[in-house]
Amino acid sequence: MADLLVTGGAGFIGANFVRYWRAAHPNDRVIVLDALTYAGNPASLEGDDGRPVSTLIHGDICTPGLAESLLREHRIDTVVHFAAESHVDRSIHGPDAFLETNVRGTHELLKAARAAWLDGAWTGGPVRFHHVSTDEVYGSLEPDDRPFQETSPYAPNSPYAATKAASDHLVRAYHHTYGLPVTTSNCSNNYGPYQFPEKLIPLSLVNALGGKPMPIYGDGMNVRDWLYVGDHCRAIDRVLSDGRVGAVYSVGGRNEWTNIAVVRLLCRLLDGAFGADAGLAARFPDAPPARGRQTSTLITFVRDRPGHDRRYAIDADRIGLELGFRPSESFETGLERTVAWYLANERWWRAVMDGSYREWTERQYGATAG
Ligand code: NAD
Ligand code: DAU
């Protein structure tokens, strides 16, 4: 039995992870620490009965002493660190928050873990600090380059990627210098339920349902390696269970797609969903298939993202060979599940889009950041 502190557990991957963990390890205790920025949504942690699936502590990882007191008070033996500013476009327009949370916040957590676990007073069993990171720390690939692997040199290009790279180095240094038992995973692009509609897939989806343009940056030929979020959660579980302390694991879907191909597949899935369910046209009257048109008519090429990385791809051999991890969803099945989830959970994304979830969160949890 383990006692987990999940930072950023009200965000996209964190919430999926908490839900996954509660189902896979029902005897473990899970506590979420989340600052509830614009990206954190307590509704993502509601079970089918409307009750929270875990305890949620509203707090900032940057607050000195907070994490240490939580580790001691709740006898936490496992930290799974998701909390971050995660959107590349936001990091281009306002990098400061990224430095604060991704670098200083990660360092506060590492100091907390070191103080609580390594000062001689820890009487519990084995401990672990797992750091959730990204393939973006390795920069951009040319079309014929081999995919990134654990030994690829760091070459972050956006402020977001640079701060995640810095956090990876801090985690590594705390292991090397102080012996903190850490693992790190660097994962490719995730998609699935509860993703904030600022990222490519959910943004395209909700825009299409509202009859709004689906923006494609530049020529649409940038490539990402997509992994269903549930598969990422299983990968982290494998690393927590059997990963080597101090090791880094690359996680990806062996699933490279150009952005334009992703959006075209999404359009076909939406056209199919409207064809199969006549009720959708009444619910989403502005969506093209409700008016006898194809969703792809909304695709709109827009100005490129500054410094836009051309291609990411992950060589996931290490986690496959050492830990037996393989993705279980293909892109087609994962995207179909994602479309079905957004169609069935309109209340969740409407509240995110119109901001009403923020008012609700502030009433429940007090003033929020971001
Ligand atoms: P997200 O933006 O959806 O969620 C981030 C969460 O962290 C939110 O709940 C937010 O409220 C919380 N948070 C932000 N600042 C905080 C602070 N100072 N203190 C406490 N909580 C804070 O992000 P995501 O997409 O779920 O990503 C989670 C992690 O996975 C990040 O570390 C990201 O770098 C990494 N990652 C994401 C992807 C992806 O495709 N989304 C891929 C690989 C790695
Ligand atoms: O690779 C892992 C990373 O994936 C994570 O570390 C990040 O947290 C996560 O946000 C994601 O970064 P990307 O920048 O790749 O994701 P995003 O969804 O913002 O964009 C995916 C691709 O689609 C990218 O090439 C930019 C493009 N794009 C994005 C948006 C939002 C568009 O063409 N149009 C859009 O409207």
Contact at 8 Å (CB) between 40 and 82? no
Tokens for 22?
């509660």
Nearest protein CA to atom 41 of ligand 1, as residue? 190
> Which residues have C-beta atoms less than 6 Å from ligand 2?
86-88, 134-136, 188-189, 199-200, 203, 215-217, 222, 224, 259, 305, 312
pLDDT at 369 over 70: no
Residues 6+ apart with CB under 8 A from 49: none
The C-alpha angle 144, 145, 148, rounded to 5 degrees, equals 145
Alpha-carbon gap, residue 8 to 204, rounded angstroms? 24
164 lines ligand 1 (CB under 6 A): yes
> pLDDT > 70: what percent of the chain?
99
Q: Which atom of ligand 1 lies closest to the CA of 251? A: 43
Query: pLDDT tens digit string along 213-246?
Result: 999 999 999 999 999 999 999 999 999 999 999 9
What pairs with residue 182 in β-bridges? 129
**Tens-digit pLDDT profile for residues 163-185:** 999 999 999 999 999 999 999 99
- Give the pairing type, strands 214-217 and 78-81: unpaired
* Ligand 1 contact, 200 CB (< 6 A): no
8 lines ligand 1 (CB under 6 A): yes
Q: Looking at 138, 160, 312, 342, which residue is catalytic?
A: 160
Residue 315 annotated to the active site: no
Residue 191 Cα: closest atom of ligand 1: 40
Decide if 322 is catalytic. no
pLDDT digits (tens, 9 = 90+) for 46-98: 998 999 999 999 999 999 999 999 999 999 999 999 999 999 999 999 999 99
Six token digits for residue 169? 């180095």
Q: What global pTM score does this model have?
A: 0.97
The tens digit of pLDDT for each residue in 52-64 reads 999 999 999 999 9
Instruction: Please list, residue by residue across 161-188, b when 16 or more beta carbons sit within 10 angstroms of its beta carbon and e when fewer do.
Output: bbbbbbbbebbbebbeeeebbbbbbbbb
Question: CATH second-level architecture of 3-191+226-254+309-329+355-365?
Answer: 3-Layer(aba) Sandwich (3.40)
